[in-house]
Chains A and B, each alone.
Chain A
Amino acid sequence: MQTIVKKFRNQGWYPYLFVSPFFILFLVFGLYPILYSITTSFFDWRLIGTGTPRFIGLGNYANVLNQDPFFWKAMRNTVILLVTGSLLQHFIAIPLAIMINSKAVKGKEFFKTSFFLPYITSTVSVVIIFGVLFDTNYGLVNWLLGFVSDGAKIRWLQESFGIKFVLSVVLNWKYIGWNMVIYLAGLQAIPNELYEAADIDGASSLRKHLSITIPQLLPIIFFGVALSIIGGMQIFEEPFILTGGYENLGGHQNSGLTAAYYLMFTAFKAYRLGKGSAIAWLIFLVIIVLNGVNRYVTKKLEG
């Protein structure tokens, strides 16, 4: 027996016409510049100074990897923030989703909506909000800490630890609602019979979540972590605005300097387009490797 999804009969070039805008725009503004950036990365190509671009082979890559302490600092910061700002929050988002999904809780929509709001707030607003909150002398955080400690005020935005801490808080706050909604949808797709069977066996609720919920959510965890890796390795706006733009390059001891931030600085402040393109491809490589690790770990866990 043949089953075909019923499609609209047509012979002609209309479907090609209808899908053509995407392909034209993607070729011109997407694919062509991407291929071009491979070429650019092999040139010493500056917008000011030396004049014409000069082919230097892997020179930019060698320069970045061997002689550029800023790049390694930026990579290290990015990976730290990837863990504290993007990955650890899955450990909060999943229990949060389980809590909201619990039968005992009414007003699911209310909680879902409140936790999602930061995700659609512009980064500048988020950073301004947290800048005030973590202000050394007048911020709410230090004011509240003043009740429990009599010590010196923490200079959140002027210290290495403080900058990373505040950035992590900002990233957690902004993205946790989104992750939570994804997990909520995943939870609602788990068949109830699995839990009923566990109930008959008298399993505790922690036991049930560990042996039913988490394994069932694995594909979604893989997907969520993959998106966190892609997004986390590209973090730029939050540290850029929080630490004050190109001039400050990540604030005290460059502790807020991320890889994408350094890429933007190299290209659009130092005007070294070739080196900037090389950094872009190195970040891309790291994303691919980390996602490979993610896939491997998920496969292992699935057994």
Chain B
Amino acid sequence: MKSSIIIKKALLYLMLGIMALVFAYLFYNVFVLATWPGDQVLRSPPHFFFGGGLAENYRQLMARIPFGRNFFNSLGIALSSTVSVIFFCTMAGFAFAKYRFRFRDQLYFFVIASMAIPGFLNIIPFYKMMVRFGWINTWLPLVVPGMAGAFGIFLMTQFLENSLPTDVLEAARIDGLGDFGILMRIVFPLARPAMAVLGIVTFVGSWNNFTGPLILLPKIEATTLPVALSLLNSRVDNNQGALMLGNALTLLPLIVIFVFFSKQIISGLTAGAVKG
């Protein structure tokens, strides 16, 4: 009896351990390959340790794509999205969670239902609209339409409904704060944990967005890192070293964020599913 439990336990750990090892290797490999010179990236047997081509890869990468611009665009779009999503979704979530108003339930249902619409249905007219607005090759089409996203409103409504005491709001009102004052001085400070979850999830989603910038930012100087990387990947004079370093530099910020905030990211990205 006892030994069978030990065997079962060992088997469990062995299977999970092998899987975790494979997952970890794939990420480790990204950084290993970034340090090998372009003509030596692909070798048999494959590399398992770091090489000495980092500086050369860096020069090659900078010569092929406007990496600094692409990084700046990725960061700028992700940060402006994050800030505006946090602001507008907390505001709307506060209204849905704490006010009683006519059509509240219908409007909230509409917000939730809008999440089920597949993204590609509006993509063609949306593109034409952006051309007409003159927004192609600017940050605007990737920030403005999603500023008050349905998912964020859902997340903030859930949180504020349970964690924002109505008594505190009533007290603030008696003290003479207006609705906007209550939002700014009471709701925002108290909603910080949920705002962090929403902010990180928004940042990661924006950082990884590919289809949006592919269509809306066709100019290489105006585009973001993932699209620039894919262009580098399909170039005829593709330098493998530059590509691998570009990949590592795109991945690194995400891994750093994930190491520190994995709890928030996982809870945020699975929020709808786990509660629904």
Minimum Cβ distance to chain B for residue A6 (Å):
5
> Could you write out 8 A-B pairs with CB less than 8 Å apart?
A8-B99, A25-B147, A30-B117, A102-B12, A110-B20, A143-B44, A237-B211, A268-B127
Chain B residues near A125 (CB, 8 Å)?
Answer: 30, 226, 229, 247, 250-251
B149, closest chain A residue (CB): A22
Q: Which residues of A are found within 8 Å of B207, using beta-carbon distances?
A: 122
- CB pair B117–A104 under 8 Å, yes or no, is no
> Nearest Cβ distance between residue B91 and chain A, in whole angstroms?
5
Task: Check if A18 sits within 8 Å of B94, measured CB to CB.
Answer: yes
A69-106 to B contact mask, C-beta < 8 Å, 1/0: 00000000000000000000000000010011010110
Give the interface segment out of B49-57, B58-66, B100-108, B190-198: B100-108
Q: How far is the CB of A226 from chain B (nearest CB, A)?
A: 9
Complex Cα–Cα for A36 and B128 (A): 11
Main secondary structure of the interface of A (DSSP, over half): helix
Other-chain contact of B91, A18, A119, A223, A236 (Cβ < 8 Å) = A18
- Residues in B lying within 8 Å of A, measured CB to CB: 5, 8-9, 12-13, 15-16, 19-20, 23-24, 26-27, 29-30, 33, 41-46, 88, 91-92, 94-96, 98-101, 104, 107, 110-111, 114, 116-129, 144-150, 153, 166, 169-170, 173, 179-180, 183, 204, 207-208, 210-211, 215, 226-227, 229-230, 233-234, 243-244, 247, 250-251, 254-255, 258, 262, 265-266, 269-270, 273-274, 276
Alpha-carbon distance between A268 and B276 when the two chains are bound, in angstroms: 36
Given A124-B233, A128-B244, A236-B211, A8 contacting B170 (CB threshold 8 A): yes
Which residues of A have CB within 8 Å of B262?
113, 116
**Residues from chain A with Cβ under 8 Å of B121 in the complex:** 34, 37, 280-281, 284
Interface 1/0s, chain A 12-34, versus B by CB < 8 A? Answer: 10111011011101101110111
Cβ contact within 8 Å between B13 and A105: yes
Inter-subunit contact A245/B234 (CB<8 Å) = yes
Q: Which among A33, A104, A223, A287 has the highest number of chain B CB atoms within 10 Å?
A: A33
Chain A residues with CB under 8 Å of B226's CB are 122-125
Are A122 and B124 in contact, CB atoms less than 8 angstroms apart?
no
Residues of chain B within 8 A of A123, CB atoms compared: 208, 210, 226
- Supply 19 further A-B pairs (C-beta < 8 A) apart from A124-B247, A178-B269: A14-B95, A18-B94, A19-B107, A21-B88, A23-B110, A32-B125, A99-B15, A104-B5, A105-B9, A113-B266, A122-B208, A124-B227, A125-B30, A127-B233, A178-B270, A182-B273, A224-B273, A245-B234, A284-B118
> Contacting chain B: which of A130-138, A194-202, A210-218?
A130-138
Q: Is A250 an interface residue (CB 8 A)?
A: no
Find A280's partner among B16, B123, B227 (CB 8 Å cutoff): B123
Contact A40 B124 (CB under 8 A): yes
A45 to B33, CA, bound (A): 46
Question: Given A120-B258, A124-B229, A280-B123, do A10 and B27 touch, yes or no (CB 8 Å)?
Answer: no
Known contacts A118-B23, A178-B269; is-contact A7 B166 (Cβ 8 Å) = yes
In the complex, are the beta carbons of A122 and B250 less than 8 A apart?
Answer: yes
Q: Do A33 and B126 have beta carbons less than 8 Å apart?
A: yes
A25 and B270 contacting across the interface, CB-CB below 8 Å: no
Chain A residues whose CB sits within 8 angstroms of the CB of B276 once the complex forms = 223
The 6 closest A-B CB pairs, nearest first, are A33-B122, A18-B95, A33-B125, A29-B145, A138-B42, A15-B99
Residue numbers in B under 8 Å from A122 (CB-CB): 207-208, 210, 226, 250-251, 254
Residues on the A chain within 8 Å of B230, using CB: 124, 241, 245
Q: How many residues of A contact B (CB 8 A)?
A: 90
CB-CB < 8 A to B170: which residues of A? Answer: 8-9
In the bound assembly, the distance between CA atoms of A113 and B111 in angstroms comes to 30
Q: List the B side residues contacting A30 at CB < 8 Å.
A: 114, 117, 122, 145
Given A143-B44, A280-B120, answer yes or no on A116-B210 (Cβ-Cβ < 8 Å).
Answer: no
| Closest beta carbon of chain A to B44's beta carbon, Å | 5
Q: Is B16's CB under 8 angstroms from A111's CB?
A: yes
Residues of A within 8 A of B30 (CB): 125, 128-129
Interface residue A185 (Cβ < 8 Å from any Cβ of B): yes
A227 neighbours in B (Cβ, 8 Å)? 273
| CB-CB under 8 A for A7 and B100, given A99-B15, A125-B247, A281-B121 | yes
Q: How far is the CB of B155 from chain A (nearest CB, A)?
A: 13
Are B26 and A129 in touch, CB under 8 angstroms? Answer: yes
Is there an interface contact between A135 and B229, defined as CB atoms closer than 8 Å?
no
Q: Choose among B13, B88, B266 the residue that contacts A22 (Cβ–Cβ < 8 A).
A: B88
Give the residues in chain A near B145, CB-CB below 8 Å.
25, 28-30
Interface membership of chain A positions 208-248, coded 1 if the CB is closer than 8 angstroms to chain B and 0 otherwise: 00000000000010011001001001101100010011000
Of A12, A34, A115, A220, the contact of B20 (CB 8 Å cutoff)? A115
A277 in the interface (beta carbon within 8 A) = yes
Pair A181/B120 contact, Cβ less than 8 Å: no
